[in-house]
Structure formats: C-alpha cells, structure tokens
A and B are shown apart, each in its own frame.
Chain A
Amino acid sequence: MTSRQQGRRAVVTGLGVVAPNGVGADAFWKATRQGVSVLDRISREGCTGLPLRIAGQVRDFEPQSAIDNRFLVQTDRFTHYAMAAADLAVADAGFRPDPEDPFAVGVVTAAGSGGGEFGQRELQQLWGQGPRFVGPYQSIAWFYAASTGQISIRGGYKGPCGVVASDEAGGLDALAHAARAIERGTDAVVAGAAEAPLAPYSMVCQLGYPELSLAERAEEAYLPFTAKARGFAPAEGGAMLLLEDEQAARRRGAAVRAHLAGHGATFTGASRWAESREGLAAAIRIALDRARIAPEEIDVVFADALGVPEADRAEALALADALGPAAERVPVTAPKTGTGRAYCGAPLLDVTAAVLAMEDGVLPPTPNVTEVCHDLALVTDRARPAELRTALVLSRGLMGSNSALVLRRGERS
C-alpha cells in the first residue's frame, strides 16, 4: 500500500444534496439557514399504519428526471438519492473527469441499512410466488455497496472505491477514508452517504431502537438538549461531496470550498450513551490534533444531538472535556432537528451545512428547540452572522460509533 504522499491534502470542491428540506445545495442551505422544519407525518404508501409517525421525508425529488430509467428498475431508493447527489456534487464542482485517466477518480459511500424497500418487494415475490419470481437485480440492489458501485460504473470512476459500514458516524468516516485515498495519490473522490429508511420493512426494523421518537406531533418529535427530549425522528436522503487533492483542484482552477483538516473515530458500544462521553471527547481530541488546531479555534460545532437525555448530556460533557473553557462560548447548532436524522446521511448534511455556513458567515439555527437544559451555547430561534473559519462536526451511531471531523474554510467566501 502506498503511504501518504507529501503535500497532498483533501479539499471539498463540490456539494450535492438530496435532503428532506431541499434538493441541491442552494435549496438545502436556504431552508437550513431559515431554520425551516420539514418534519411531518410520513405519507409514503405502506408506511402510514406504523407507530413511527414523524420523519423527514424527501418530497421534492423526482427520480424519473434525476436519473436514467434503468436505475429506477435496477436500484433501490437509497441509490437513487446517492446517484442524484453525486451528479449534483460533480456538476457543482465543475468537474470533468479525464477519460484518459479513469483511475484518478474514486468513490466512497457509507451506508447504514442498504436497500430495504427493493429487498422487501423481492422477498414478497419470493414468499408470495416463489424463487423464480425474484428479479435478478435483487442480488445487487439491496446491498450496502450498491451506491458506490453504481456511481463508479456510471461515472467511469475506476479509482479506489469503498463502502464504510460503521454506523451513522460512518458518514464522517467515509470522508476520512476518501481523504486518505487522496493523500495516497488519487486526485478526486466522490464521497458521502444517502439513505432511504422510510419504507415499511425498514421502518419496522427501526421500531426496535429505544432511541426512536414515536411522537405524534412533528414539533414534539425531535427536541435534543431540552427537557422534552424523547428520542430522534429519522430522515432519508443525504449528501455526496466531490473531494479533490488541493493542488489538483487548483490546477484546474476550481475553488476550494473547505479543507478536511482532521478526523477522529472511536467506539463505545451500542446505546451506551454515558460511555459515549469519553468516546466522543477522544474523537474530538484526535480530530483537533490531526488538524493541528487548538480548542479555542473552533468557531462552530454541529452537534450529533441525538435527543435522548442521557446521550445529550454525554455530548455536552464531551464538548466540555475536549474543548475545556472554549466549550462555554463556542456556538453549537443542530440543524437536523428540522429534517430528522438520515442515519449515515445525517453527518453528511451537517458537513454540507458547515461548508455553506463558513462561506456565508452564518450560524444556522436548531429548529423547534427553544429551552436548552444543558450547558451549551445552542443556536436557537434564528440564524445569526458570525465569522466562521473552522467547524467541528460530530456524529454518533446507535451501535456505538463516535466520530468528529474538523473543517477549515476555503477561499470562496
């Protein structure tokens, strides 16, 4: 294996979003900055009779116009989102891959559950009619790796490809994995995560999570860091980014939107939220150390904000442990309270929001959350202007992973 090459650094040059509050980075950022909450009753066919009522559903996405018809037949909704987001990211970056050098571009995604909707349909064929009625695309469509594979095949991206299955925090780990590929010599990686957990089978699986919010009303469903916290509302969608080697990006005249400055990941066990304090604090310290920045240089924290009292307390304490006195004044935000948590897609939406927040000089708010019961400077109510040079994005998974990513502002703003 090639080790890190001198001077190679991963930067963000393109953003592609398919989110409950908007498709495309512009629509997503407008809604995020305004603090619009799109949490609502799940309306998808087959999903309405379950105890899980409130989620962030992607409603403004027409797969027929976003991707080729054959991928609608051959792939699951989670891959539709990822393919569309990848196209948006590549277009946003103004990137044209060199057809002479297909190995210069890789693909890395993270996935939490794969293609549950497609899989359910084919399993119903199996039990309803027999094995001869199961379509052959079942063999690839349900699989965690489907999105990476389809993006790679369709784009002709033959560089290092991979799938990170490390829980929700895997969204951040996928970016770190892609950054390492860039440091080792790959010029560009399409990286990110998108999920589609709002399908009957997938929803039933989630009912086993004690952290899931079964609230009936959207405005009460997901209220992290408050005394009314009762779990999280799930969401679908996510974001793909184009990451490039900084010098390669500059050679082609692309704007550097942000630097992936440092990442840390730890594991503390499924639903052991008190222990996540130590794990998250360690991940933050590792990320800061790799980014070579001091705690007081962090200008904004995008919190994991699970919405489970014990987990919220652990996160607030982890920030205090890792950032010291700086934790008392650093603005913390959790825009995902307006969209829900899209599993691996959630930290990708936070990274995208962090890049846009730094460019715009705006701290986006935490929708629906008003009275905070932890020692945190949470941005509530409305967006406010701020000089943002460095952002810290946090993510934890229900199965025990904790990750932290430090982003530094690029030059576009």
Chain B
Amino acid sequence: MSNTLSYPELAALLQSRAGVTVDPGDLERPGAEFDAFGVDSLGLLGVVGELENRHGLKVTSGAESAKTPAEFMELVNSSLAAKAGA
C-alpha cells in the first residue's frame, strides 16, 4: 500500500469498519459529508484505529470528528506524510 490514503481505500475501510457501503466517487464529490452516508464518529474512529494499526502511526487527533471525507483525507494523509518524512 502506498503512503497515502485513496478514496477507494477509504470506501473499503468504511465498508469493513462501519458497515457502510459507499461509492468512492461519491466520497470524492465536492461538498460530500459523512453524515449523508450514515457514517458516524464511532465508524470513523474504527477507520482511524485500523489505519493506525496498519501503518504503526498516530493519526492527528480529531480525524474521527471530521465532517467531510476531504477533511478526513487531509488529516490522515498529513499524518502519513509526517511519518514518511520522519
């Protein structure tokens, strides 16, 4: 896996950790919000936990409260980039 999270990977994680089926393209659409997909903060917390376990890093706190996929991706990917640069 590359060192950035992609929308298809996020969609797969939402499926396995929150049980929510969502099209990666819909996640990427401008103005998309987690609420509209039925993803709650516990679901996002599960995704964060999975990413942290996979990559052995700490995702910036607050990612689980992100309102939009874009915001979530930015927080996760900046954590991944920080680790890669460290």
User: Across the two chains, which residue of chain A brings its CB closest to B19?
Assistant: A73
**Could you give, for residues 128-151 of chain A, a 1 whenever the CB lies within 8 Å of some chain B CB and a 0 otherwise?**
000011011101100000000000
Point out the residues of chain B lying under 8 angstroms from A136, CB to CB.
Answer: 42-43, 45-46, 49
Highest count of chain A CB atoms <10 Å: which of B38, B45, B46, B53 = B46
Contact B42 A71 (CB under 8 A): no
Q: Name the contact of B21 in the complex, choosing from A69, A71, A132, A135 (C-beta under 8 A).
A: A69
Contact A70 B46 (CB under 8 A): no
Nearest-Cβ distance from residue B68 to partner chain A, whole angstroms: 19
Q: Name the contact of B20 in the complex, choosing from A70, A132, A133, A135 (C-beta under 8 A).
A: A70
Point out the residues of chain B lying under 8 angstroms from A73, CB to CB.
Answer: 16-19
Q: Name the contact of B42 in the complex, choosing from A69, A72, A140 (C-beta under 8 A).
A: A140
Point out the residues of chain A lying under 8 angstroms from B33, CB to CB.
Answer: none
User: Across the two chains, which residue of chain A brings its CB closest to B45?
Assistant: A136
**Could you give, for residues 114-137 of chain A, a 1 whenever the CB lies within 8 Å of some chain B CB and a 0 otherwise?**
000000000000000000110111
Point out the residues of chain A lying under 8 angstroms from B17, CB to CB.
Answer: 73, 135
Point out the residues of chain B lying under 8 angstroms from A226, CB to CB.
Answer: none
Nearest-Cβ distance from residue B59 to partner chain A, whole angstroms: 12
Q: Name the contact of B46 in the complex, choosing from A69, A71, A137 (C-beta under 8 A).
A: A137
A74 at the A/B interface (Cβ < 8 Å)? yes
User: Across the two chains, which residue of chain B brings its CB closest to A72?
Assistant: B19
B28 at the A/B interface (Cβ < 8 Å)? no
| Range of interface residues on B (Cβ < 8 Å) | 10 to 19
Chain B interface main SS type: helix
**Which of chain B's residues 30-52 have a Cβ closer than 8 Å to chain A?**
38, 42-43, 45-46, 49, 52
**Could you give, for residues 71-107 of chain A, a 1 whenever the CB lies within 8 Å of some chain B CB and a 0 otherwise?**
1111000000000000000000000000000000000
**Which of chain B's residues 1-21 have a Cβ closer than 8 Å to chain A?**
16-21
Interface Cβ pair total, 8 Å cutoff: 36
Chain A interface main SS type: helix
Q: Name the contact of B49 in the complex, choosing from A71, A135, A140 (C-beta under 8 A).
A: A135
Point out the residues of chain B lying under 8 angstroms from A71, CB to CB.
Answer: 19
Nearest-Cβ distance from residue A133 to partner chain B, whole angstroms: 6
Contact B19 A70 (CB under 8 A): yes
Point out the residues of chain A lying under 8 angstroms from B42, CB to CB.
Answer: 74, 136-137, 139-140
- Report the bound CA distance from A74 to B18 in whole Å: 7
Nearest-Cβ distance from residue B8 to partner chain A, whole angstroms: 18
Contact B53 A70 (CB under 8 A): no
**Which of chain A's residues 386-413 have a Cβ closer than 8 Å to chain B?**
none
Given A136-B45, A136-B46: A70 touches B52 (CB 8 Å cut-off)? no
Highest count of chain B CB atoms <10 Å: which of A68, A74, A133, A136 = A136
Q: Which 3 A-B pairs have the closest CB atoms?
A: A73-B19, A70-B19, A136-B45
Task: Write the residues of chain B forming the contact surface with A, with a CB cutoff of 8 angstroms.
Answer: 16-21, 38, 42-43, 45-46, 49, 52-53
Task: Write the residues of chain A forming the contact surface with B, with a CB cutoff of 8 angstroms.
Answer: 68-74, 132-133, 135-137, 139-140
13 additional A-B residue pairs with CB within 8 Å, beyond A69-B19, A74-B43: A68-B19, A70-B18, A70-B20, A70-B43, A72-B19, A73-B19, A132-B53, A133-B49, A135-B49, A136-B42, A136-B43, A136-B45, A137-B42
23 contacts between A and B (CB under 8 A): A68-B19, A69-B19, A69-B20, A69-B21, A70-B19, A70-B20, A70-B38, A70-B43, A71-B19, A72-B19, A73-B17, A73-B18, A74-B18, A74-B19, A74-B43, A132-B52, A132-B53, A133-B53, A136-B43, A136-B45, A136-B49, A137-B42, A137-B46
